[in-house]
Amino acid sequence: MTDPKSPESLFQVRVYYEDTDAGGVVFYANYLKFLERARTEWLRDLGINQSGLAVSEQRLFVVKALDMAYRKPARLDDLLTIRSRVTRLGRASIHFAQRAERDGELLAEGNIQVCCVDAVQMRPAELPADLRAKLGSIQE
């Protein structure tokens, strides 16, 4: 569990066979799954339940944009640490900087823009006030 007052979240994920390609390294798209899990667990640690927001406030989160750079391969059984930071809060968006590391060594890094949308209209919607307050207090 991440300290709710920390500006950075740490999430660990183990690499399984299903995560690797024919060359025995993590398939590039699977890093996106790891980053998604890290963001979701961070919100959970902050007391934000995404499925609850979908029901109570009809708000969903979608990835609008991302930029990834792959530096070194991860392999089967590696234990990765995903580091996540909020770099910007918009009216309806959250910008994250995330890194995948193995024993402190950078393997991949990305910038992800997540947008809040109305669950019915699928149009941009203002971030819930509770979420904005919690993320705003730890933003860099």
Segments making up each domain of the chain, as ranges? 8-136
Q: Which residues are catalytic?
A: 21
Which segments of 57-131 are extended strands (E)? Answer: 59-70, 79-89, 93-102, 105-118
67-124 pLDDT, tens digit each: 999 999 999 999 999 999 999 999 999 999 999 999 999 999 999 999 999 999 999 9
CATH architecture of the domain with range 8-136: Roll (3.10)
Indicate the residue type of 131.
L
Q: Is the pLDDT of residue 3 over 80?
A: no
- DSSP secondary structure string for all residues of 4-43: TT-SEEEEEEE--GGGB-TTSBB-TTHHHHHHHHHHHHHH
Give the model's confidence band at 4: pLDDT under 50 very low, under 70 low, under 90 confident, else very high. low
pTM: 0.91
CA 7 to chain CA centroid, nearest Å: 14
Indicate the residue type of 2.
T
